[in-house]
A and B are shown apart, each in its own frame.
Chain A
């Protein structure tokens, strides 16, 4: 009987038009414990949202408005998770009703897209990383915790890669949340604008600290990201991360500086990440010192470059002056 139910569940999960079905029978009796796990799993997502001030602040650029819509959308993606965490029974009961009625695409309150479901499973799977590492087993354990069949890992064609990429993109969105928040604070006049170097230093530190809970297994995750079929995605995440950091640091360049700045920050970020992997000092102080030094290097290089350019211009002016003087002396400058 249980096996039949299981098979039904798997069939519905795979066949469903993107709607989520989990058999009410699978609801674990200790729902409060599940809720606890849910809360812990959502900790990462909720951290930055915990003390989020009003969303309608006067962002000066349209990008922020778009960003707000995006983050609100992600909050909505997070909302079904919180919703399901707090009222699992109610949602279980209503979901089977809506799953067949909503086939026309009319989105009811309980409708969840496949992407949202995948995101939920992967986020739940993050809990099991310390136990299983960055593997499909972790995803399966996460699915089971949500009351779904472990066969739902079949949804993830990339296996562990999906888990790592999901985590990376989640961290990136959290960082963007935090940076946009800081930006708003500055706009509202409640905070002082930071210098770019200091801003970037803080941003990189915030971002790398998100890896601390998973630092034991992070080398495994990095090697997964370096697999050939994952490289385009991981590069895309890295480039959007660096672009966001520079944007909020105040970079608005539209020439080659756009490229050089991002290349420099990518180098800093990657090397600092590698240092962090083998750092054993307390609270990773060595890593932050390394970061400080690298940023200082780049700042020095930029200053030196400016100085060289200024010197070069002066030298050229001097040479031109000398040439004109010579022409005057030899009488070649006369106009006859």
Chain B
């Protein structure tokens, strides 16, 4: 039955005319033979777009992976304190983000960054060491990282909107949703006395510098 339906559709497309299709294809506009099904990322039209999309997805995946590990490090130290449930909740949200990006990466055949093992260790160390500075230290780390990430998501949203907002609607939706979550984490951190840690300004800037370097590296490697 399945087969009959498909042969019917095929013969329909034949009626359209192979010549017309050939002409369309020669014009280098890839014919979208059916709807995009459910896919967040549109199929790239040329290698430039592919490069851009892959970079965006690669660095976002790396970012969520790193954030995951940071919260894991914080939980390892502060898991049994009063801040435990809060950190766990934020960690669970990051897990959801990571799962979503894993799905998108697999679907779009994007190469994950080769620096993943490095972010694995670095993220855990950052989370654990900031937690060792106390609850405020952990919150300050959260504030710094989440601010970096939301700024980064915002610039991606801007870039995609500049390119073609209609083409990237689903992807923009996903990024916007995640950015809103990250801003919420940022605000939570501020609410929990992040700024009262001694050396807040230095800590925050150092972490943000590290995040910028990580983003730069993950886009390329």
- Check if A69 sits within 8 Å of B32, measured CB to CB: yes
- B25–A188 touching, CB < 8 Å: no
Total contacts A-B at CB 8 Å:
90
Apart from A65-B32, A107-B27, A247-B109, what 12 extra A-B contacts exist at CB < 8 Å? A56-B33, A58-B2, A63-B43, A65-B33, A66-B30, A70-B30, A72-B25, A76-B21, A109-B19, A113-B26, A254-B61, A254-B106
Question: How many whole Å from B40's CB to the nearest CB in chain A?
Answer: 9
Taking Cβ atoms with an 8 Å cutoff, the residues of B that contact A are 2-3, 6-7, 9-10, 13, 18-19, 21-23, 25-28, 30-34, 36-37, 39, 41-44, 61, 101-102, 105-109, 111-112, 114, 116-117
Query: How many A residues have CB within 8 A of the partner chain?
Result: 33
Cβ of A79 under 8 Å from chain B = yes
Stretch from A6-14, A156-164, A255-263 forming part of the interface with B: A255-263
Which residues of B sit under 8 angstroms from A109, Cβ to Cβ?
19, 22-23
Q: Verify if A101 is at the interface (C-beta below 8 Å from B).
A: no
Q: Can you give 26 A-B contacts (C-beta < 8 A)?
A: A55-B33, A56-B34, A60-B37, A62-B41, A62-B42, A62-B43, A63-B107, A65-B37, A66-B44, A69-B25, A69-B30, A69-B31, A69-B32, A70-B30, A72-B25, A72-B31, A73-B25, A73-B30, A76-B25, A79-B18, A188-B3, A188-B6, A243-B109, A254-B112, A255-B112, A258-B111
Partner among A65, A247, A252 whose Cβ is within 8 Å of the Cβ of B34: A65
In the bound assembly, the distance between CA atoms of A56 and B23 in angstroms comes to 19
User: Contact: B23 with A107, CB < 8 Å?
Assistant: yes
- A57: interface (CB < 8 Å): yes
Task: Name which residue of chain B comes closest to A61, CB basis.
Answer: B107
Using CB atoms and an 8 Å cutoff, list the residues of chain A in contact with chain B. 54-58, 60-63, 65-66, 68-70, 72-73, 76, 79, 107, 109, 111, 113, 188-189, 243, 247, 252-256, 258-259
Q: In the assembly, what is the distance between CA of A76 and CA of B106, in Å?
A: 29
